[in-house]
């Protein structure tokens, strides 16, 4: 079963650190994944696991923080984008790569009308007339399913509801037909009925425009719904990677299993939920071996001492846990 889809985005051994007065925080500590053309890769994990920092590293948006990519490669269509100039990074954003966030106001200008924002974004990346750009903006906005498009083009962001702003941000992100859309918890702040609308919209636009999506979320339900592939993150690392079907059918890392066990599922009765004991370790006091070992009921002495690499479980399913060592050879 050879996968012939091209790799749009490859992240290899990515390390991102924050240099603080009282020490260095390794927020992303050796992350690898590949986003294939036309597919959606989910990055899932609890808060603080390094999902957002990973996406900011890809977008080149760490400037202005103490954060820095210290090691690794980020390849867009095979070309390195981790070590290019700020100017080149800026050109990529909004063109080849765009991003949507949980809070739409982080990417909308509060004092500029919607139409103007969309049009300016188009004109930055395409050489067309203002009138054509305006038309294009309207068409895109219409695709997102907002009501009364003509009027909204002349409104300010504060005049819209949360769900509408999210749609405007999606319009803004997709209007230049990016190769990659990075969506960082795009529906987390929304109600489920609005979330369903937005996920539907993203799926449709993905098919239409052919954009590949890196979908960051903490919600395994959303992952099951929109992703083709999944990477589970814990403590700045990817601990398990698989296509969405194998991940849910055969979750292999104890952390993945714990996460799945702790969510209440509709229509399933249980007196008690499975729990992952304890908390995520403080980044300043990371355990030595496997970072999950202190919370893992199956941890052995080896797990405390030595961090596992990835073990191949077949069919592209890999897992970073010593328990998987017997299953297949080390990669």
Partner 1 sequence: MENVLVKVEDLKLYYPVAGKRIGTKEYVKAVDGVSFEIMEGEVFGIVGESGCGKSTLGRAVCKLEKPTAGKIVLDGEDISGYNDKQMRSVRKKVQMIFQDPYASLNPRMSVFDIIAEPLVIHKLTKTKEETEARVLDLLRKVGLDDYHANRYPHEFSGGQRQRIGIARALAVEPKLIIADEPVSALDVSIQAQVLNLLNQLKNEFNLTYIFVAHDLSVVEHISDRVGVMYLGNFVEVGDKKSLYANPLHPYTKALLSAVPVPDPTAKKDRVILEGNIPSALNPPTGCKFHTRCPNCMECCKTEAPKRYQVSENHYVYCHLYDDKIKS
Site for Mg ion contains 49 (CB under 5 A): no
* CA terminus-to-terminus distance, the chain: 19
Which does residue 271 bind out of Mg ion, ligand ADP, partner 1, none, counting CB within 5 to 8 angstroms by kind? Answer: partner 1
CB of 190 to partner 1, least distance (A): 9
Q: Is 27 in the site for ligand ADP (CB under 6 A)?
A: yes
> What does the CA dihedral 191, 192, 194, 196 come to, rounded to 10 degrees?
160
**Contacting residue, 34, 52, 187, 256, with Mg ion by CB under 5 A:** 52
Is 25 a binder of ligand ADP (CB under 6 A)?
A: yes
Q: Does 300 bind ligand ADP (CB under 6 A)?
A: no
String of b and e for 95-131 (b: at least 16 CB within 10 Å)?
A: bbbbbbbbbbeebbeeeebbbebbbebbbebeeeeee
Q: Which is nearer to partner 1, 42 or 178 (CB)?
A: 42
Q: Does 283 bind ligand ADP (CB under 6 A)?
A: yes
Distances (CA, A) of 60 to 73, 100, 146, 220: 12, 14, 31, 27
By CB under 6 A, name the one of 1, 21, 22, 47 that touches ligand ADP.
47
Tokens standing for residue 264:
């209440």
User: Residue 52, interface with ligand ADP (CB under 6 A)?
Assistant: yes
Site for partner 1, rule CB under 8 A: 46-47, 147, 161, 163-164, 191-197, 199-200, 218-225, 244-245, 248, 258-267, 270-277, 279
Task: Centre a 10 Å sphere on the Cβ of residue 152 and count the other Cβ atoms it contains.
Answer: 21
Distance of closest approach, residue 51 Cβ to Mg ion, in angstroms: 5
Picked from partner 1, ligand ADP, Mg ion, none, the partner binding residue 208 (CB below 5 to 8 A depending on kind) is none
Contact status, residue 102 vs residue 132, Cβ threshold 8 Å: no
* Interface with ligand ADP, residue 18, by CB under 6 A: yes
Q: Quick one: what does residue 50 bind among partner 1, ligand ADP, Mg ion, none, with the CB cut-off 5 to 8 Å set by partner type?
A: ligand ADP
What does the alpha-carbon distance between residue 163 and residue 142 come to, in Å, rounded to a whole number?
A: 14
Whether the Cβ atoms of residue 325 and residue 308 lie closer than 8 Å to each other: yes
Lookup: tokens for 316:
């592209």
Site residues for ligand ADP, 130-149, by CB under 6 A, read none
Cβ–Cβ under 8 Å, residues 58 and 98? no
Binding site for Mg ion (CB under 5 A): 52
């Amino acid at each position: 079963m050879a996968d012939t889809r091209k790799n749009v985005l490859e992240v290899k051994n990515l390390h991102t650190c924050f240099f603080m007065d009282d020490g260095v925080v390794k927020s992303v500590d050796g992350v690898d994944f590949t986003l294939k053309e036309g597919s959606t890769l989910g990055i899932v994990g609890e808060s603080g696991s390094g999902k957002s920092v990973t996406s900011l590293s890809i977008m080149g948006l760490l400037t202005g923080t103490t954060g820095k990519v210290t090691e690794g490669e980020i390849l867009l269509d095979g070309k390195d984008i981790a070590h290019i100039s700020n100017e080149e990074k800026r050109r990529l954003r909004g063109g080849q790569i765009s991003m949507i966030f949980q809070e739409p106001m982080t990417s909308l200008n509060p004092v500029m009308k919607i139409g103007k924002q969309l049009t300016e974004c188009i004109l930055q990346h395409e050489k067309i007339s203002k009138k054509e750009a305006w038309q294009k903006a309207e068409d895109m906005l219409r695709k997102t399913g907002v009501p009364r498009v003509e009027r909204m083009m002349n409104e300010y962001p504060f005049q819209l509801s949360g769900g509408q702003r999210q749609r405007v941000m999606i319009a803004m992100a997709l209007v230049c037909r990016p190769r990659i859309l990075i969506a960082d918890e795009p529906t987390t702040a929304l109600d489920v009925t609005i979330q369903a609308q937005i996920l539907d919209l993203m799926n449709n636009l993905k098919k239409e425009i052919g954009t590949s999506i890196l979908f960051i979320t903490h919600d395994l339900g959303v992952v099951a719904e929109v992703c083709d592939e999944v990477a589970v993150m814990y403590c700045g690392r990817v601990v398990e990677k698989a296509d969405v079907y194998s991940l849910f059918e055969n979750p292999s890392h104890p952390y993945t299993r714990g996460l799945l066990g702790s969510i209440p599922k509709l229509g399933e009765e249980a007196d008690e939920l499975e729990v992952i004991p304890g908390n995520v370790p403080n980044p300043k006091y990371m355990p030595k071996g496997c970072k999950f070992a202190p919370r893992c009921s199956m941890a052995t002495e080896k797990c405390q001492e030595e961090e596992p690499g990835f073990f191949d479980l077949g069919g592209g399913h890999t897992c970073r846990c010593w328990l998987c060592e017997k299953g297949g050879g080390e990669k």
